[in-house]
Structure 1
C-alpha cells in the first residue's frame, strides 16, 4: 500500500467535491494528488470568474462548509444567506490553506481512457487523461493510477437548438442570447464597453429555477425590464421567522421525506401506516402553505405553478421574506412572470420570442436559464461502456414486484412532469452514487458530487472519506464482492429513485443524479458511515429528542482518525 500512496491520483474538477476529496486523500497519505480544472480559480460554480452579482447560496448558513475550516458569517447579514462572493472567498481560502501546489488551473480535460500497451501505464491499468492548456493551446496525455471525477452537474450548459445563439444569428435576431452560466462574462463585457445592465433592454429569462430568479432579481433591482417564462417554478421553503435549527438543520425533514429503508419505528409509522401518512402529508402541505403565505404568493399567482416539496427535488430555501428578493419584486410588479408557458423559438421578425401557445414576447435580450447536461462526456465509447455509463431504464432494473416499496406515503404519486430539457430517461448504475458498478472491483475510479442532497458540505466530506477507504482497500469497508452484486444494488436504488421521485429521470442529468438523497441525506450518509464501520446517528439524542438534534459538521471532523484506528 505504501507504493500505491506514491502513485498519481487525478481529481477532475475544482468545485466543492473536488477540493474536499483532494484534501481527504492527501490527509490519508496519498502523496501525488492533482486537481485538473478549466477554471482560473477554485470553487467550480463558486469560482470567482463565474460568480455574478445577486447570486446567493440556496442553503442555510453552515451547510456548505467543511469540518477543517470555519466559515465566516455572511458579509451581508440582512439577506440571511451567503452570497456567491462569500462562497468564492471560502473556497479560495480552503484551496490556499490545504491544497497549494495540487491544482492545475486553465486545463481542459478532453478525454479519459485506459492506456494501451504502447502508452504510459502498465497494460490496461490506470488512466490516461488528455488535457489541453487554455493558455498555450498545448495538448498532452497525463497518466494517473486513480481518478475521482468531480465535474458536477452545473458544468455543461443545456441550450435548446431553437433558442441557441447560433439559431439567433442565422435568423437575424437583433438582441443578445446567452446561457445563465455566462451572465458574469456578459456583465464584464458591458462594463468594458462603458455600459450598464439597462442597455440590455427588455430581458426575457427562460426558466423558473434559482439562477433565473437570482438574475431576474438583480436586473430588476437595477431598473431593467424583466420577464420570466417557465413551465414550473422551483418549490419554495420559507417562514415568517428563520426556521430554528431543531427543524431546518436536524433530521426532522429527512424523517418526513422517507428513505429507501426505514430504520426506526418512527419512520415506519410515518411512512407505512394510514395515520402516519396523513400526518406526514399534512406537515408537508402545511410547510408549503406557510411558505406561500410568507412570500405573499396569492392563490392565483403563476408562482403557485411550482414543484412539490415532498415529491420533487427542485426546491429553493428562501428563509424569510427579504426586500428586493425575487418574490418581493414579483409582488411589486417589477418582474413579470408568464407561467405555465414554454418558449418555443425565436421569432422571424428578429425581435421576439415565440411561446408554445402562439404568443409573442418582444425581447432585446434572451437569457437561457435552462439547466445543464451531463458533464460525463469525456469518455470514448469503449471507456464509457467499460465503466457502464449507459443509462438504464426502469424495466432494465427488474420486474416491479422485485423492488417495490409499499409506503403509504407514496401511494398516490403525481403525474410525471414531462420536460424538454436535459434528461435522457433512466438512471446510470453507480454504486452508492460514487463507483460505477461495473468497475467496482478495480478500485481505481470514483465520483464525488453526483449525489443530490441539501447539505453539500457534510455529504461531500463523508463521501470523500468513503472514496479514500475504497482506494485504500480498507478491509473494514463493506463492498459488494462481485460486479453482479454491485449492479443488483444499483438497480435497486434506481428503482427506488424512480418510485420516490416520479419522472425525475426524464429531466435530471446523470452527473448529479446517481443517487437522489435530497431531504433524507442524513440517512444516506449514515449508510456510508455504516459501510465504513463507523458510528451513525452522530447528532445524538434519546428516543424522544433524536429527530430534533441539530446536525453539525463537527460531528465528522474525526473521521480520518476513526478510520485509521479501524485500519
Structure 2
C-alpha cells in the first residue's frame, strides 16, 4: 500500500562504538542483545530486574512441576512451540529433556529456564546488568540518546544510565491487572484472612498457598482461582496435584488443540495452519481459493470446527463440562497447544473432579466474613486463598511517562476513516462467521511491523522486540532482532520514506486485526496491539526477511509440498552471514 525506499548509508566504526540498551532479559531481550553484539555493536548492555536471565523463565519464576503448553497470552508460559528442538535460538542447540520419550518431547519450565541461562552465559557474559529495575526511560539532553533511570536492587540506590539507542524487550504485557473489587486493598478492607495474589507471583507464594488449606480434606475451604486462562489452569493444576482443594471460576476459558499422539512436523511446524487461518495478503493460489471462494470458506469453517471437536474428544472433555465454554479456536488468539493426553494435566484433573469448575460465573467481591468470596449471582464460596489470574496490563506504561509515550507514538491512537473502511478489502467468505464487536473500532498503537513506532521511524534509535503476538515467539524474535540491527546500522532495508507512510502501513495491520480477531483488542494493552500475527507468523517473518533483502519462504518445497514443509530455526542460522554479504555487495 505504501511507497518504500531502501536506505544505503551504513554506520561507521565510530557509530558502532555507541551504546545500545536492551530492556528485558526474556526471549526477545536475549536474542536481540546477542544479535547486536554479533553485528558489531561494541557496547550492548541488557537490563533486567531479575537475578537470573530468562524473563518469565528466570529461576525465580519457574515453579516445580511446570510443563509447557504452546500458550499465546496469559502468563507467557509458552509463547512458542513447546517441544524439544523448537523453544530455542538458531545459535545454540537445546539439551534433550529428561524423560522426553514419554512426553513426546514436551518441555518443562526447568528445561526452558536452563536453556535461557545457558544462552546468556554462552553469548552474553558481561553484557547483562542484573537486579536493575527500570523506573523511567526518556530522551537524553538535547533530544538525542536515552536516559534510563534505574533502581539498583543490590545497593538500593538510584542512578541514570545513558544509551545512544534503546530496544524495549519487556514483552507484550507484564504488569498484573487486578479487577477493582478484588485488589489487595479491597482484600485488606474486607479483612480477608488468607493469601491474595496475582498469578504472576504464584512461584514466590507457593508455600503460603500450600499451608493455608488442608490436603485431601473434602470439607476444607478451597483456594479460589479467578480466571479461565493459562495461568489459572496452571495454578489450579499444581494445587490439585498437591492434594489441595481448588475451585476455578471463569466466564470463558482458552481454546486448545490436542492430539492422541504428537503431531508430525508437516502439521505442527509447517505453514498449514497459517494458510488455513487467512492473512491480510493472500500470496498463493491455495490461500486465495480457501479464503475468497464460497467452497474454500466452507472448508476453512469446518476444518476449525472439526479440530475443536477433535481436541475436546482427545482430552475426554465431557459435553456438559464448563471447559466447553472456550473461545472460538478460529477467531480468537487465546489458544493452548495441549499436546497429547497425560496424567496430572489440567484437563485430566478437571475431568476427574480434582479441580472444581464454576462457569459461567464472575467473582464480584470479597465476603464480609473474611473467609469467602461472593459471585455476581449472589452465591458465597468459602475461600482459603484467592489467586487472581486476571491478565496483565501494558509493559510500557510503568517505564515511560505520558510525554515520552506521546513523543515516541507508543500510545493508543484512534483509527482513521481510511483504515476502518479497509474491512471491505478483506471481504473473505472464510470470515463470514466472525462475530461483530459493538461500538467504535478499538484504538491501537501505531507501530510499524510491530518493531518501530511509526512516529519515530526516521530516527533509527528506538525499537521494540517481543511485543508481536505470535505462535512462535523464538523464531519471530530472532528474525526481528536482525531487522532491528539492520535498522540501527542503516543497512539497506525496505522502509517507509515518511512518518505518514509508516503510520498508513501500521493502520492497515491494525485494521486487519480488527477484522480477523474482533474481540482481541478489547483486552490488549498498548504493547499487545502492535502486531498480531498469531497462526500467520510465517507470513510475518517473510515480510521481515524481504525487508532485509534476503530470501523468504525458506522451508522450500514445490507447488504441491510447500504447504507441509516444516519451518525450522536452522533456516536462519546463517542470516547474519547473508546480511553481511548483502552489505558488502
Instruction: State the TM-score, normalized to the length of structure 2.
Output: 0.91
**Offset from partner CA, 1:211-238 (integer Å, 9 cap, x none):** 1111111110111001001111100100
Q: Is 1:22 aligned to 2:40, yes or no?
A: no
Question: What's the offset of the Cα at 1:74?
Answer: 2.5
Q: How does 1:121-520 map to 2 (within 5 A)?
A: 123-188=142-207, 201-377=221-397, 378-395=399-416, 398-401=419-422, 404-416=425-437, 425-475=442-492, 477-520=493-536
Whole-Å Cα distance in 2 between the matches of residues 302 and 212 of structure 1?
A: 14
Whole-Å Cα distance in 1 between the matches of residues 379 and 509 of structure 2?
A: 42
**Offset from partner CA, 1:511-551 (integer Å, 9 cap, x none):** 23311101010011001101111111101111000000011
Cα pair distance change 1:430/1:383, threshold 3 Å = same
Whole-Å Cα distance in 1 between the matches of residues 367 and 462 of structure 2?
A: 47
**Offset from partner CA, 1:450-494 (integer Å, 9 cap, x none):** 10111111111000000000001112x100000000011011111
Whole-Å Cα distance in 2 between the matches of residues 562 and 443 of structure 1?
A: 22
Whole-Å Cα distance in 2 between the matches of residues 382 and 394 of structure 1?
A: 21
Whole-Å Cα distance in 1 between the matches of residues 212 and 337 of structure 2?
A: 36
Whole-Å Cα distance in 2 between the matches of residues 3 and 512 of structure 1?
A: 35
Cα pair distance change 1:250/1:348, threshold 3 Å = same
Q: Which residue pairs with 1:72 in the alignment?
A: 95
Question: Does structure 2 retain, via aligned residues, the 8 Å contact 1:45–1:154?
Answer: no
Unaligned runs of 5+ in 1: 117-122, 419-423
Question: What's the offset of the Cα at 1:198?
Answer: 7.8
SS of the counterpart of 1:539? coil
Question: What's the offset of the Cα at 1:393?
Answer: 3.2
Question: What's the offset of the Cα at 1:140?
Answer: 1.0
Q: Which residue pairs with 2:82 in the alignment?
A: 60
Unaligned runs of 5+ in 2: 1-11, 70-80
Q: Which residue pairs with 1:99 in the alignment?
A: 124
Cα pair distance change 1:346/1:195, threshold 3 Å = closer
Question: Does structure 2 retain, via aligned residues, the 8 Å contact 1:397–1:494?
Answer: no
Question: Does structure 2 retain, via aligned residues, the 8 Å contact 1:417–1:503?
Answer: no
Whole-Å Cα distance in 1 between the matches of residues 502 and 168 of structure 2?
A: 19
Question: Does structure 1 retain, via aligned residues, the 8 Å contact 2:52–2:59?
Answer: yes
SS of the counterpart of 1:241? coil
Cα pair distance change 1:233/1:296, threshold 3 Å = same
Q: Which moved more, 1:52-61 or 1:349-358?
A: 52-61
Whole-Å Cα distance in 2 between the matches of residues 36 and 397 of structure 1?
A: 40
What is the aligned-residue RMSD (CA, Å)?
2.0
Whole-Å Cα distance in 2 between the matches of residues 417 and 15 of structure 1?
A: 36
Whole-Å Cα distance in 1 between the matches of residues 540 and 290 of structure 2?
A: 18
Whole-Å Cα distance in 2 between the matches of residues 440 and 459 of structure 1?
A: 20
Question: What's the offset of the Cα at 1:356?
Answer: 1.5
Question: Does structure 1 retain, via aligned residues, the 8 Å contact 2:245–2:355?
Answer: yes
Whole-Å Cα distance in 2 between the matches of residues 8 and 95 of structure 1?
A: 19
SS of the counterpart of 1:74? coil
**Offset from partner CA, 1:222-263 (integer Å, 9 cap, x none):** 110010011111001001111111011100101000111011
Instruction: State the TM-score, normalized to the length of structure 1.
Output: 0.94
Whole-Å Cα distance in 1 between the matches of residues 529 and 114 of structure 2?
A: 27
Question: What's the offset of the Cα at 1:331?
Answer: 0.9
Question: Does structure 2 retain, via aligned residues, the 8 Å contact 1:190–1:196?
Answer: no
Cα pair distance change 1:148/1:397, threshold 3 Å = farther
Q: Which moved more, 1:204-213 or 1:53-62?
A: 53-62
Question: What's the offset of the Cα at 1:189?
Answer: 5.5
Q: Which residue pairs with 2:23 in the alignment?
A: 12
Question: Does structure 1 retain, via aligned residues, the 8 Å contact 2:437–2:518?
Answer: yes
Whole-Å Cα distance in 1 between the matches of residues 212 and 267 of structure 2?
A: 48
Q: Which residue pairs with 1:119 in the alignment?
A: none
Question: What's the offset of the Cα at 1:174?
Answer: 1.4
Question: Does structure 2 retain, via aligned residues, the 8 Å contact 1:54–1:215?
Answer: no
Q: Which residue pairs with 1:524 in the alignment?
A: 540
**Offset from partner CA, 1:269-318 (integer Å, 9 cap, x none):** 00000001111111111111110000111221110100111101100100
SS of the counterpart of 2:98? coil
**What is the number of equivalent residue pairs in this alignment?**
554
